[in-house]
Amino acid sequence: MNESRPNAADEASGDAGMADIPRFVPLYVQIKRLLTQGLQAGEWKPGEAIPSEVELARRYGVSQGTVRKAIDELAAENLVVRRQGRGTFVATHHEARTQFRFLRLLPDEEGGEALGSRIVECRRLRAPVDVARILGLRAGEAVVCIRRILDLQGEPTVLDEIWLPGSRFRGLTAERLAAYSGPLYGLFEREFGTRMIRAAERLKAVAADQATAELLGIEPGSPLLQVERVSSTYDDVAVEFRRGLYITRRHHYFNELS
């Protein structure tokens, strides 16, 4: 059987971009792209099961092993989650295992970490030039700016400034944020149909200015770790710019490279 291309891809998935994929691209990569397009289109919602490997192999006209390899890559990228004896499910930010995937601040001493969040402000405004550039917006386009404080073990530890495209997050208000008790990315996923897939960060040591010091309860000039993050959804579309200021007296920033 010739597995150079899925012979039922167009009619089964409605994918019109298959003709744009060069023939030398490995077949499992082509299947991975089709599955990702299904996730992006909302064919399978976060938390829902995707079809079995056998069903997907039949759908795309390829071997089960090819489908398994494609799903393995999606699982490695945290887009889907395998559950022994139950199947494969679309990953969601509401799962305990993924809620803190993007928060890399850990206590110096091992133990439980009570996390609290307080909204300082949430407002709509015209995008500053640098934010518009990062999010791929037109100059002056509407954005939502959220400022919040994360409390770790009851102490203010992180001041977050979060910028979101206004067109994607219509109706996001301080009241709506205050009424929500789950992870922020879970709210974005459930209420606004935007799932954060990956993020790129850069870190820098800075000193607290007066306003930041007052919010975090520290002295002006105190050392802080500044973490700037650009989070993307499917197709590497930037949908969040975040600048976090971290107190690291009793915490460290942890990242695992592979």
Is 3 contained in some domain?
Answer: no
The confidence band for 22, taking pLDDT boundaries of 50, 70 and 90, is: low
Q: Strand ranges (DSSP E) for the chain?
A: 80-83, 87-90, 105-107, 115-126, 142-152, 155-165, 198-207, 223-232, 238-246, 251-253
Give the C-alpha separation, 139 to 168, whole Å: 16
**Quick one: average pLDDT of 18-27?**
66
Structural domain range at position 118: 98-253
pLDDT at 17 over 80: no
**Quick one: average pLDDT of 5-21?**
44
- Round the average pLDDT of the chain to a whole number and report it: 85
Is 2 contained in some domain?
Answer: no
Strands 87-90 and 80-83: antiparallel
Q: Cα separations (Å) of 174 from 48, 121, 164, 191, 248?
A: 29, 6, 14, 14, 28
Of 41, 64, 90, the position where a domain reaches its end is 90
pTM reported for the whole predicted model: 0.76
Q: What is the CATH number of the domain that holds 162?
A: 3.40.1410.10
Residue type, 123: R
Is 1 contained in some domain?
Answer: no
How many domains does the chain fold into?
A: 2
Q: What is the CATH number of the domain that holds 21?
A: 1.10.10.10
The reply to whether 127 and 204 lie within a common domain is yes
Is 73 contained in some domain?
Answer: yes
The reply to whether 249 and 154 lie within a common domain is yes
